[in-house]
Chains A and B, each alone.
Chain A
Amino acid sequence: MARKHAVSFKLNGKAVDVVVEPRELLIHSLREKLQHTGPHIGCETSHCGACTVDLNGMSVKSCTVLTVQCQDAEVLTIEGFEQSGALHALQEGFTQEHGLQCGYCTPGMITRAYRLLKENPSPSEEEIRYWMAGNLCRCTGYQNIVKAVQYAAKKMSSSRT
C-alpha cells in the first residue's frame, strides 16, 4: 500500500483535510470523503464534464485530478454557489430558462459557466457553445443552457452597474 498523504485545501471557502492514497481522484475525495456529491461521475475518461469543479480559478474535470495535487488549493463546487440563502445568478438562470432536466450534468455545467462568465462577462451564443463544450448534456440539447448562461450574464452585469 502506497504511502498515504494528508492533503489540506479550501473547499467552498472552508479549510478541509483528507488522508488519501496518491492514486485517489479528487472526484472521489469530494464525493466520498467530504460528502460533496454535487459533482458527478459520467464517463471517467474526462469527456463529459459532469465532475467539473473550479480549482484555483480553473474549470477542471475532477475525475482526472489527483487529490494529492490539491494541497493548498481553492476548490469551488456547486455546493458553494448559494450565498446566505441567495441563489447565484446561474442557479436562477438554469431554473428560469429550463436549462436542466435530469439534473445530472447541472452542477458541472453551472460550475463551468461560472468560470466562463468570470473570464467573459458577456459571451455571445457562439462563445458560450465553444467555451461550454467540455460539458455534455443528454437531456436539454443545450439551447436552454445557452439561454440560462445569457440570463445570468445579463443579471450579473446589471447588478455590477
Chain B
Amino acid sequence: MIPREFEYHAPTTIPDALGLLKQFGDEAKLLAGGHSLLPMMKLRFAQPGHLIDLGRIRELKGIREEGGALRIGAMTTENELIWSKLLQDKCPLLVEGARLISDPQVRYKGTIGGDISHGDPGNDHPALMLVLGASFVLKASTGERVVPAEGFFVGSFATLLQPGEIMTEIRIPVPAPGTGYCYSKLKRKVGDFATAAAAVTLRMKGETVQEVAIALTNVGASVLRARAAEDSLRGKAMNDASIAEAARLAMRICDPAADQRGDAEYKTAMAGEMTQRALRTARSRATR
C-alpha cells in the first residue's frame, strides 16, 4: 500500500497550475482532496509521474452568491458545504447531499470540484448538480468556458473536462423559494458508495407539479437524468400512482453492474425506491 514514485507540485495560482498541466501533459494528475486518487496510487492502479496539488490555490475556495447564482470554488470541501449558512438557507439540497458523503474525516478533505470532475458514477454531486441546473467553469491556458452539468458527464471517469483544463468553480442558480428537494441515498454503511440514490428538485403549484428534476446515482455508466420520469409528472397532480409510474420510468434507464452491494435487479429496484422516497420528501418540503 505504497504509491510509486512521482514528482510533486504545489502551485499557488491557477495560471501556474495550468502551466504545469501543459508542461507535463499526460504524465500529470490533479490532486484535490486525494481520497480517490491516493488510495488508487497506493494500490498502484494509478501511477502519475507528476502530482499537481490544487490545495494551495486560494481562488479555488469559497462560497458566495452573485447575480442570482451560488458560486462555489471547486476546492470547497464537503464539510464547508455542510456548514455554509448561505447554502443551508438557499440550497439545502447540497447540504443534505454532502452530509451523506463518506465520513467526517473524508469530508474535511473531499472537494465538490474533485467529486464532479472525477466522473465517477458513484459520486453524489453529479446527480445534485443535474437537478440544480448547475454549470461548471473550466479554465485552460487558452481561456475559460462555462459548461452546463447537463451533458458534462459522458461516461465512467469520463467528462467534458479536457486534459489541460481545471474546474475552478461551480455555479448554481439559486433555487426559487419554496422549491421542494431531496437526496435519497441507500448505502450499506457509512463511507460506502450508494447502492442507488435519487436527487430531486420540485416546484408545485397547488397540487400540480410545475417543475421537477430527477437524477440517479450509481446505476449507470454515469449519473442518469430521468427525463421520462420527469415528463410523466410535470403538469399533473402528484399521487401514489404518479409517483410509482415515475419510479417505473426511472428504473427503465438504469444499467447498474452487480457487485457486493447487490445485483443489477436489486440496484435498479432501489433506484426506483429512492426515486419514490425523494419525490415524496420533496413534495412535503415544497410550498404549494
Contacts and interface: CB of A to CB of B under 8 A. Distances in A.
B105 A134 contact: yes
B35 to A, nearest CB: 6
Contacts of A68: 8, 10, 53
Contacts of A61: 105-106
B1 interface: yes
Interface residues of B, number: 28
Nearest to A41: B1
B4 A64 contact: no
A1 B191 contact: no
A75 interface: no
A59 B8 contact: no
Interface centre among A44, A65, A66, A112 (most CB of B within 10 A): A66
Contacts of A134: 102-106, 190-191
Nearest to B33: A64
A132 interface: yes
B109 A60 contact: yes
Contacts, number: 81
A21 B5 CA distance: 8
Contacts of A130: 104
User: Chain A: interface residue count, which band?
Assistant: 20 to 34
B259 interface: no
A69 B109 CA distance: 12
A1 B4 CA distance: 10
A64 B118 CA distance: 17
B111 to A, nearest CB: 12
Interface string B214-226: 0000000000000
Contact of B109 (A1, A45, A64): A64
B108 interface: yes
B24 interface: no
Given A22-B8, A112-B104, A133 B191 contact: yes
A2 interface: yes
Contacts of B102: 134
B223 to A, nearest CB: 24
Interface string B26-44: 0000000011001101100
A5 B102 CA distance: 31
Interface string A118-132: 000000000000111
Nearest to A133: B190
Nearest to B102: A134
A58 interface: yes
A99 to B, nearest CB: 18
Contact of A59 (B4, B53, B104): B104
B34 A64 contact: yes
B8 A46 contact: no
Given A22-B7, A22-B8, A59 B1 contact: no
Contacts of A21: 5
A93 B179 CA distance: 45
B51 interface: yes
A133 B4 contact: no
Nearest to A51: B105
Contacts of A135: 105
Contacts of A46: 35, 38-39, 105-106
12 contacts: A1-B5, A2-B5, A60-B108, A61-B105, A66-B51, A69-B55, A132-B104, A133-B191, A134-B102, A134-B103, A134-B106, A134-B191
Given A22-B5, A61-B105, A134-B190, 5 more contacts: A22-B8, A23-B3, A47-B191, A64-B34, A68-B53
